[in-house]
Chains A and B, each alone.
Chain A
Amino acid sequence: MNADPKLPEIQSVVSFLRHCPPFGGLPKPTQQDTARRIRITYLRKGEQIRADSAAYALRIVRSGAVEIRSEDRQLLDRLGEGESFNIHGLDVGSEGVVAETIEDTLLYQLPRAAYEALRAQFRDFDRHFHSQRNRRLRRAARYRPDTNLLTQPLANHVTSNPLSLPPETPLQAAARTMTEHRVSSLLVKDGEQLLGIVTDRDLRSRALARGLPVHTPIRDIMTCEPKRIELDASVFDAVLAMTREGIHHLPVQQDGKVVGIITSSDLMLARENDPVYLVQHLSRQQDVESLAAMTSSLPSLMVQAVRGGMRAHQLSRVLTAISDAVTCRLIELATEKLGPAPVPFCWLGFGSQGRGEQLVGADQDNGLLIDNRATANDMDWFRRLATFVCDGLNACGYPYCNGKVMATTDRWRQPLSEWRRTVDNWTHAPTPEAVMRVSIFFDLRSVYGDAHLCEQLQRHMLSRARRDAIFLAALAANVLEQTPPLGIFRRFLVERNGEHRDEFDIKKRGVLPIVDLARIHALAHGIPAVNTRERLQHLVDARILTIGDGRNLQDAYDTIQQLRVENQCRQVTDGHRTSNHLNPDELPGLERKHLKDAFTVVHDAQEAMRSHFRQGL
Chain B
Amino acid sequence: MDTRYVAVDLETTGLSPEADEIASIGWVAVEQGCILLETARHYRVRLEKGVGQSAIYHQLTDSELQQGEPLSTVLPRLLEAISGSVLIFHNAQLDMGFLNRACRSLWAAPLPVPIEDTMQLELRRLQHRQQCIPAGALRLFQCRHRYGLPDVAAHDALGDAIATAELWLAMKAGEYQKCPAQ
> How far is A103 from B40 in the complex, measured between Cα atoms in Å?
27
Which B160-175 residues have C-beta < 8 A from chain A?
162-163, 165-166, 169-170, 173-174
User: Cβ of A16 < 8 Å from any Cβ of B?
Assistant: yes
Asked if A41 and B37 make an inter-chain contact with CB atoms under 8 angstroms apart, the answer reads no
User: Cβ of B182 < 8 Å from any Cβ of A?
Assistant: yes
Asked if A104 and B182 make an inter-chain contact with CB atoms under 8 angstroms apart, the answer reads no
> How far is A37 from B36 in the complex, measured between Cα atoms in Å?
8
Interface string of A1-28 (1 = CB under 8 A from B): 0000010111111011000000000000
Beyond A42-B169, A104-B170, is A11–B148 a contact (Cβ under 8 Å)? Answer: no
User: Cβ of A38 < 8 Å from any Cβ of B?
Assistant: yes
> How far is A42 from B37 in the complex, measured between Cα atoms in Å?
14
* Interface 9-residue window, one of B12-20, B101-109, B130-138, B151-159: B151-159
> How far is A81 from B178 in the complex, measured between Cα atoms in Å?
20
> How far is A489 from B154 in the complex, measured between Cα atoms in Å?
12
Beyond A12-B152, A111-B182, is A43–B173 a contact (Cβ under 8 Å)? Answer: yes
Beyond A8-B42, A37-B38, A39-B34, is A104–B148 a contact (Cβ under 8 Å)? Answer: yes
> How far is A57 from B181 in the complex, measured between Cα atoms in Å?
10
Q: Interface residue count for A (Cβ, 8 Å)?
A: 33
B169, closest chain A residue (CB): A42
B37 to chain A, nearest CB (A): 5
User: Cβ of B87 < 8 Å from any Cβ of A?
Assistant: no
Asked if B37 and A106 make an inter-chain contact with CB atoms under 8 angstroms apart, the answer reads no
A113, closest chain B residue (CB): B182
> How far is A252 from B147 in the complex, measured between Cα atoms in Å?
55
User: Cβ of A55 < 8 Å from any Cβ of B?
Assistant: yes
What chain B residues lie within 8 Å of A42 (beta carbons)?
33, 166, 169-170, 173
Beyond A12-B154, A39-B35, is A106–B149 a contact (Cβ under 8 Å)? Answer: yes
> How far is A112 from B179 in the complex, measured between Cα atoms in Å?
13
Query: Total number of A-B contacts with CB less than 8 angstroms?
Result: 98
**Among A9, A38, A41, A104, contact of B178 (Cβ-Cβ < 8 Å):** A41
Chain B interface residue number, banded:
35 or more
Most central of B26, B37, B163 by chain A CB within 10 Å: B37
What chain A residues lie within 8 Å of B182 (beta carbons)?
39, 55-57, 111-112
A19, closest chain B residue (CB): B153
B37, closest chain A residue (CB): A38
What chain B residues lie within 8 Å of A11 (beta carbons)?
153-154, 156, 158-159
What chain B residues lie within 8 Å of A39 (beta carbons)?
34-37, 179, 182
What chain A residues lie within 8 Å of B166 (beta carbons)?
40, 42, 106
A329 to chain B, nearest CB (A): 55
> How far is A11 from B41 in the complex, measured between Cα atoms in Å?
12
Asked if A10 and B149 make an inter-chain contact with CB atoms under 8 angstroms apart, the answer reads no
User: Cβ of B112 < 8 Å from any Cβ of A?
Assistant: no
Which A105-133 residues have C-beta < 8 A from chain B?
106, 109, 111-112
What chain B residues lie within 8 Å of A109 (beta carbons)?
34, 179
A104 to chain B, nearest CB (A): 5
Interface string of A28-71 (1 = CB under 8 A from B): 00000001111111111000000000011100001110000000
What chain B residues lie within 8 Å of A104 (beta carbons)?
147-148, 170, 173
Asked if A41 and B179 make an inter-chain contact with CB atoms under 8 angstroms apart, the answer reads yes
B153 to chain A, nearest CB (A): 4
**Among A36, A44, A103, A489, contact of B37 (Cβ-Cβ < 8 Å):** A36
> How far is A12 from B148 in the complex, measured between Cα atoms in Å?
17
What chain A residues lie within 8 Å of B41 (beta carbons)?
6, 8
What chain B residues lie within 8 Å of A35 (beta carbons)?
37
Most central of A15, A16, A44, A63 by chain B CB within 10 Å: A63
What chain A residues lie within 8 Å of B170 (beta carbons)?
42, 104, 106
User: Cβ of B114 < 8 Å from any Cβ of A?
Assistant: no
Beyond A41-B179, A106-B166, is A10–B40 a contact (Cβ under 8 Å)? Answer: yes
A37, closest chain B residue (CB): B38
Beyond A8-B42, A42-B173, A55-B182, is A63–B149 a contact (Cβ under 8 Å)? Answer: yes
What chain B residues lie within 8 Å of A15 (beta carbons)?
152-154
A28 to chain B, nearest CB (A): 15
A1, closest chain B residue (CB): B38
B160 to chain A, nearest CB (A): 8
Most central of A35, A41, A42, A104 by chain B CB within 10 Å: A42
B147, closest chain A residue (CB): A104
Asked if B150 and A12 make an inter-chain contact with CB atoms under 8 angstroms apart, the answer reads no
> How far is A12 from B40 in the complex, measured between Cα atoms in Å?
12
What chain A residues lie within 8 Å of B150 (beta carbons)?
62-63, 81, 106, 489
Beyond A55-B179, A63-B150, is A8–B40 a contact (Cβ under 8 Å)? Answer: yes
Asked if A10 and B158 make an inter-chain contact with CB atoms under 8 angstroms apart, the answer reads yes
What chain B residues lie within 8 Å of A44 (beta carbons)?
173-174
A118 to chain B, nearest CB (A): 16
> How far is A15 from B156 in the complex, measured between Cα atoms in Å?
13
Asked if B154 and A40 make an inter-chain contact with CB atoms under 8 angstroms apart, the answer reads no
What chain A residues lie within 8 Å of B36 (beta carbons)?
39
B165, closest chain A residue (CB): A40
> How far is A40 from B166 in the complex, measured between Cα atoms in Å?
8
Interface string of A486-498 (1 = CB under 8 A from B): 0001000000000
B contacts, CB < 8 Å to A: 26, 33-38, 40-42, 147-156, 158-159, 162-163, 165-166, 169-170, 173-174, 178-182
Pairs A-B, 7 closest by C-beta atoms: A8-B42, A12-B159, A11-B154, A40-B35, A42-B169, A63-B150, A15-B153
Inter-chain pairs besides A56-B182, A63-B149, 15 sampled, C-beta below 8 Å:
A9-B42, A12-B154, A12-B156, A12-B159, A15-B152, A15-B154, A36-B38, A38-B37, A40-B166, A42-B170, A42-B173, A55-B181, A104-B173, A106-B170, A109-B34
